[in-house]
Amino acid sequence: MAKFLILALLSVLPKIADSCGCGIPLPPPCPAPLPCPPTFCPPPYAPAPVIPSYQPPPAFNDCCCQCGSQCRYRSMRARTHGSRIFSALSFDMEEDPTCNNEKLRSVIEENITKDPTISKRAIQKAAEERLGGKINVICAKSDFSYVAYTETYCQASSGEVTCYAFKPQ
């Protein structure tokens, strides 16, 4: 009888091994996972296009004091091309190459003294108060030469002292 029991157990053993022990067979294995679709990276960032714009060169004043050369003021202004509608408005006025700002001229004339050092400081202080903003000032008893990028400038003399004041760009 023991033999019969062992044979019965051996015949049932594979079924028990394939189940959870309660007589119910194990479920079928899970299917293999599906492959993921390929990932696409976004295109690289492209900076916004730079649209070139024309900007005329800044105005400049080229002058010297007591050197005999003429002072020059050059301003590059935009002009209308191919249109006569605005031609009356686009002319260039002749500007005084030594002074284009009467307020600045009066400040220089009111504050210039026989001493260039005292003059430059007094002119700078008065001009900055009256015109607003920064003003550069050069004063000398002898010859001096300069080139400045500016649209507001004035050179004036009193006796031996000449002063040049301008608003930097």
List, for residues 40-98, the tens digit of each pLDDT value. 776 677 677 777 766 666 666 666 666 566 666 565 444 433 444 444 443 444 567 78
> Average pLDDT in the 151-165 region?
92
Predicted confidence at residue 130, as pLDDT, reads 95
Task: Count how many Cα atoms sit within 13 Å of the Cα of residue 67 in the half-sphere of its side chain.
Answer: 12
- ∠103-109-112 over CA atoms, to 5°? 130
Domain boundaries, the chain: 60-75+94-167
Predicted confidence at residue 86, as pLDDT, reads 41
At 44, list the tokens. Answer: 């690289």
Minimum mean pLDDT range among 9-13, 41-45, 113-117, 144-148: 9-13
Placement of tokens 């019965």 in the chain: 8
Please, which residues bridge with residue 147 across strands?
A: 62
CATH 3.10.20.310 fits 60-75+94-167, yes or no: no
Question: Which has more pLDDT, 97 or 135?
Answer: 135
Task: Quick: pLDDT tens for 22-42.
Answer: 667 777 888 888 887 777 776
Q: Is the per-residue pLDDT at 13 higher than 60?
A: no
34 Cα distance to chain centroid: 53
Cα–Cα distance measured from residue 158 to residue 108, given in angstroms and rounded to the nearest whole number: 9
> Average pLDDT in the 137-162 region?
89
Helix (H/G/I), strand (E/B), else coil: 15? helix
CB 164 within 8 A of CB 155: yes
